[in-house]
Amino acid sequence: MFRADLHCHTTCSDGTLTPEELLHRAKQEGLNGLSITDHDTVAAYKAAIPLAATLEILLGVGVEFSSILRDTSIHILGYDFDLESPAILTLCQRHKKRRQVRNQRILERLSRLSMLIHEEELLAVGKGTVGRPHIAEIMMKKGYVRTMKEAFDLYIGDGKPCFDPGEGISSEETIWIIHQGGGKAFIAHPHILKHQNKLKELLKLPFDGIECYYSRSLPGNESRFLRIAKEKGWLISGGSDFHGDIKAHVPLGCSWVDEACFHQIFQRL
């Protein structure tokens, strides 16, 4: 049976496997298709494209952009865009700058609570898109917290004392840029939205699809989002949101889409 995992991360963002290791893992798991959706970068594709061909894994182009919809953080999956699109590459660069400023502010806030981390330490851990999971990792290493969860729950999670949202890029603009790059924009993990009103607002935006199958989503949610996709005439996506060891309870391929779904999304292949 054809299975494609359309949501996973590598060391190019906050995953723990390199793009090459991820593809070998996908082969081991018997996956036929994959999309690598690193946060705010497409750097994985340079190494991933030739290896996927060798391993005979269908690789669909993807990315997971952070965006802001009136003060709420919204993750948007972009699929099947042109990897050389200037619009997409410029957005990745904007995120890189946004994150540099934001990470500095978070480190500044942590230092006020006597948790000292130098920028160089952070850059030594994060090789591509650097964010809060990398900061949490150093907090653990230095003994400031015991677990990743503790770092987020007490200090750097949304709205916590050392959190900084950074200068946000709107959901509307993000969708527009994905479209400019010839791609399709999907609402990522809609079940984590705390307020129903936010989902309603999101459903008014010109998305092309919604992530219906997700590692920790309950079956009840799946049918709800499948119904929404049908009503809106949107495409359906799904994946594990695999991050490797830092989220060891989420294995690659634990959520997936079938062949028909895959080919509806990835028409450039």
Task: Round to whole Å and give the CA distance between 10 and 129.
Answer: 10
For residue 168, state whether it binds ligand AMP (rule: CB under 6 A).
Answer: no
Positive or negative torsion for Cα 217, 182, 74, 91: positive
Binding mask 220-259 for ligand AMP (x = CB under 6 A): -----------------------x----------------
Q: Residue 264 Cβ, how far from ligand AMP at the closest point, in Å? A: 26
Task: Round to whole Å and give the CA distance between 264 and 151.
Answer: 40
Q: Which of 235, 241, 242, 261 binds Zn ion (CB under 5 A)?
A: 241
Which is closer to ligand AMP, CB of 157 or CB of 182?
157
CA atoms within 13 A on the CB side of 167: 9
Cβ atoms < 10 Å from Cβ of 226: 14
Q: Residue 61 Cβ, how far from Fe ion at the closest point, in Å? A: 17
Q: Which stretch binds ligand AMP (CB under 6 A): 44-52, 127-135, 194-202, 255-263?
A: 127-135
Q: Residue 91 Cβ, how far from Zn ion at the closest point, in Å? A: 17
Q: Which stretch binds Zn ion (CB under 5 A): 15-23, 83-91, 161-169, 239-247?
A: 239-247
| Inter-axis angle of helices 171-180 and 86-112, nearest 10 | 150
Q: Which of 132, 187, 215, 244 binds ligand AMP (CB under 6 A)?
A: 132
Q: Residue 46 Cβ, how far from Zn ion at the closest point, in Å? A: 20
For residue 211, state whether it binds Zn ion (rule: CB under 5 A).
Answer: no
By DSSP bridging, strand 58-59 and strand 235-239 are unpaired
Q: Which of 14, 38, 40, 137 binds Fe ion (CB under 5 A)?
A: 14
* DSSP E strand stretches across the chain: 4-5, 33-34, 58-59, 62-69, 72-79, 184-187, 209-214, 235-239
Task: Round to whole Å and give the CA distance between 203 and 25.
Answer: 35
What does DSSP assign to residue 17?
A: S
Exposure string for 78-93, b = 16+ CB within 10 A, e = fewer? bbbbeeebebbeebbe
# binding residues, Zn ion (CB under 5 A): 2
Binding mask 145-164 for ligand AMP (x = CB under 6 A): ---xx--x----x-------
Q: Which of residues 51-70 bind ligand AMP (CB under 6 A)?
A: 66
Which is closer to ligand AMP, CB of 65 or CB of 262?
65
Q: How far is CA 79 from CA 98, 141, 185, 221, in A?
A: 22, 35, 7, 22
| Contact footprint for Zn ion (CB under 5 A) | 64, 241
| Contact footprint for Fe ion (CB under 5 A) | 14, 75, 188
